[in-house]
């Protein structure tokens, strides 16, 4: 498999990069150490520090990121110093703009000009998770307290970020050395049917979100689904055309999906992923094939909403069946999408009827974390909970969720992921997850519910071992 050569580096070469950075801005040895008693974690006992230090040393396996090739990372802008990623780009690529407006960057402008307009943008978001995870990353990676940053410090930080992103090994340094991530799984929602990884530490998902729209080729025009990124590598009809596969009937389309699954497995894909929760309700009925046939071959304008849903429901059930057939776990975005339709309880009929499929429910179903735990307890043979993104959404909710889930499901049924796009973002989400888990485990030890040894093992399960159990193919690249 062909990967970009500048990322095929040995551990010695990655370590040497720390020395290379020493001549520039950020030597590895000079990376600021995390502080106890920060605004993200109260001063804790020696027990907390021991558990947290242990979790920090666990080489984690991150089950969900959106990491693009280095030269295609989001955040690149044209500055007065040329093209690169700067402080604006790091914040613009974060989740902050989900809840607050960030002053736009004008091409080729000076940083100081943007900063004078933009620094007020952060005044009302300092307590939010979408701000604090990036605050944490900037503190640990650059030694900067963004809460109290001066204009001069902001300019220096901007310069350092720009300099670091001139060399792709910055990504390796942060992910491998600081975040201590061993492997990660990337969801390429921008090119869903490209199954060749960009990084040697990367596996991929087969994102099946668009496949439920396969009743007509016109569905893959960008104007039909404006909220989705759709290109040539997201269109199953183009995939079929390149391989000489006919798609004239629903049976042809189902055969095409089966081929797509096989191709993904031959590449770097280890799981399925759908984000249909952003598009529609998660309640999928077991629709008879004859009703799905009526929709195939017709454009959206020729169909009723009920006929479109029939087809989507039918295909979703087939995807779940193929997940079992090919032995590929199915990651499903739950919660925090279309609020009226993203409760994971809506999936119970699908889960109940497919005992051979392994389901991984993402984001803990936020805000329905209790319901997610109940599902995982009831279907302990086929449901895993992925805490991905939850500590960033709400650290408080994530702590509650960990406490509840560890009381109702075995600790080998919980996984994690970061769900970000930059070195800083992935570091911040990883550190938040470790800290959240360490606080929960410490509280359980202090209440006499766990020994410290058991707490450490549970933390290791969640950060690493459970991924290897659920996705044994990952072991081949350790």
Whether 121 shows a pLDDT value over 90: the answer reads yes
Contact at 8 Å (CB) between 261 and 324? Answer: no
How confident is residue 336, by pLDDT bands cut at 50, 70 and 90?
very high
Q: Mean pLDDT, to the nearest integer, of 159-164? A: 98
- Residue 35 has a pLDDT of 44
- Residue 222 has a pLDDT of 86
Number of C-beta neighbours around residue 390 at 10 A: 34
How confident is residue 227, by pLDDT bands cut at 50, 70 and 90?
confident
Cα separation of the two ends of the chain: 17
62 three-class SS: strand
pLDDT per residue as tens digits for the range 58-73: 999 999 999 999 999 9
Order of all β-strands in the sheet with 330-333:
60-65, 181-186, 202-207, 269-274, 330-333, 359-362, 383-386, 414-415
Contact at 8 Å (CB) between 331 and 362? Answer: yes
Mean pLDDT of the chain: 92
Q: What percent of the chain has pLDDT over 90?
A: 88
pLDDT per residue as tens digits for the range 249-307: 999 999 999 999 999 999 999 999 999 999 999 999 999 999 999 999 999 999 999 99
What whole-number distance in Å separates Cα of residue 453 and Cα of residue 128? 33
Residue 85 Cα to chain centre, angstroms:
21
- Residue 353 has a pLDDT of 98
Q: What percent of the chain has pLDDT over 70?
A: 91
| Residues sharing a CB contact under 8 Å with residue 242, sequence separation 6 or more, in sequence order | none
Contact at 8 Å (CB) between 426 and 67? Answer: yes
**Nearest Cα to 146, choosing from 74, 82, 90?**
90
- Residue 89 has a pLDDT of 98
Tokens standing for residue 65: 């990121």
Residue 145 Cα to chain centre, angstroms:
26
Whether 311 shows a pLDDT value over 90: the answer reads yes
Distances 156 to 107, 160, 168 between C-alpha atoms, Å: 20, 6, 20
Residue 209 Cα to chain centre, angstroms:
15
Whether 110 shows a pLDDT value over 50: the answer reads yes
- Residue 324 has a pLDDT of 98
Whether 33 shows a pLDDT value over 90: the answer reads no
- Residue 10 has a pLDDT of 39
Contact at 8 Å (CB) between 317 and 287? Answer: yes
Q: Which residue has the higher pLDDT, 478 or 125?
A: 125
- Residue 60 has a pLDDT of 98
Q: Mean pLDDT, to the nearest integer, of 192-199? A: 96
How confident is residue 373, by pLDDT bands cut at 50, 70 and 90?
very high
Q: Which residue has the higher pLDDT, 39 or 252?
A: 252
- Residue 13 has a pLDDT of 37
Q: Which fold has domain 181-477?
A: TIM Barrel (3.20.20)
Q: Mean pLDDT, to the nearest integer, of 8-18? A: 37
What whole-number distance in Å separates Cα of residue 33 and Cα of residue 150? 21
Using alpha carbons only, give the angle 413, 205, 195 rounded to the nearest 5 degrees: 150
Whether 15 shows a pLDDT value over 90: the answer reads no
Q: Mean pLDDT, to the nearest integer, of 240-248? A: 96
Q: How many C-alpha atoms does 451 have within 13 Å on its Cβ side?
A: 3
- Residue 28 has a pLDDT of 40
Q: Mean pLDDT, to the nearest integer, of 390-397? A: 98
What whole-number distance in Å separates Cα of residue 120 and Cα of residue 149? 12
- Residue 296 has a pLDDT of 98
How confident is residue 25, by pLDDT bands cut at 50, 70 and 90?
very low
| Residues sharing a CB contact under 8 Å with residue 72, sequence separation 6 or more, in sequence order | none
Structural domain boundaries of the chain? Answer: 5-44+73-178, 181-477
How confident is residue 21, by pLDDT bands cut at 50, 70 and 90?
very low
Q: Which residue has the higher pLDDT, 24 or 222?
A: 222
As a 3-state breakdown, the chain gives helix, strand, coil percent values, each rounded to 5, of: 55, 10, 35
Q: How many C-alpha atoms does 387 have within 13 Å on its Cβ side?
A: 35
């Amino acid at each position: 498999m062909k990967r970009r050569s500048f990322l095929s580096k040995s551990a010695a070469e990655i370590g040497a990069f720390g020395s290379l950075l020493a001549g520039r801005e950020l030597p590895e040895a000079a990376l600021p150490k995390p502080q106890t008693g920060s605004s993200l974690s109260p001063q804790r006992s020696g027990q907390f520090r021991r558990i947290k230090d242990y979790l920090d040393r666990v080489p984690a396996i991150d089950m969900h990121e959106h990491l693009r090739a280095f030269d295609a990372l989001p955040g690149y802008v044209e500055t007065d110093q040329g093209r690169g990623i700067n402080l604006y780009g790091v914040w613009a690529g974060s989740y902050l703009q989900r809840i607050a407006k960030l002053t736009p960057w004008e091409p080729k402008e000076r940083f100081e000009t943007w900063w004078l307009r933009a620094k007020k943008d952060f005044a009302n978001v300092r307590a939010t998770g979408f701000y604090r995870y990036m605050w944490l990353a900037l503190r640990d990676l650059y030694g900067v307290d963004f809460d109290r940053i001066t204009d001069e410090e902001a300019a220096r930080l901007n310069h350092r970020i720009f300099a670091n992103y001139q060399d792709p090994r910055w990504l390796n340094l942060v992910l491998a050395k600081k975040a201590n991530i061993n492997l990660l799984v990337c969801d390429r929602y921008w090119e869903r049917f490209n199954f060749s990884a960009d990084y040697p530490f990367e596996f991929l998902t087969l994102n099946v979100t668009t496949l439920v729209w396969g009743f007509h080729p016109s569905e893959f025009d960008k104007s039909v689904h404006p909220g989705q990124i759709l290109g040539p590598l997201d269109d199953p009809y183009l995939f079929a055309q390149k391989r000489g596969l006919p798609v004239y009937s629903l049976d042809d389309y189902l055969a095409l999906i089966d081929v797509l699954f096989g191709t993904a497995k031959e590449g770097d894909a280890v799981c399925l992923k759908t984000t249909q929760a952003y598009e529609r309700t998660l309640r999928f009925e077991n629709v008879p094939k004859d009703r799905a046939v009526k929709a195939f071959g017709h454009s959206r304008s020729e169909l009723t909403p009920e006929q479109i849903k029939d087809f989507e429901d039918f295909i979703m059930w087939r995807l779940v069946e193929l997940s079992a057939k090919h032995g590929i776990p199915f990651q499903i975005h739950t919660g925090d999408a279309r609020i009226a339709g993203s409760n994971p309880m809506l999936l119970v009929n699908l889960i109940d009827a497919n005992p051979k499929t392994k389901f991984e429910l993402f984001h803990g179903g936020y805000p329905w974390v209790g319901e997610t735990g109940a599902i995982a307890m009831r279907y302990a043979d086929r449901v895993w909970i992925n805490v991905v993104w939850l500590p960033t959404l709400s650290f408080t909710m994530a702590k509650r969720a960990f406490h509840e889930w560890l009381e109702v499901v075995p600790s080998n049924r919980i996984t994690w992921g970061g769900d970000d796009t930059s070195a800083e973002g992935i570091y911040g989400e990883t550190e938040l997850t470790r800290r959240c888990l360490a606080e929960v485990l410490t509280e359980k030890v202090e209440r006499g519910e766990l020994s410290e040894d058991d707490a450490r093992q549970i933390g290791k399960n969640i950060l690493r071992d459970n991924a290897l159990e659920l996705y044994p193919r990952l072991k081949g690249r350790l």
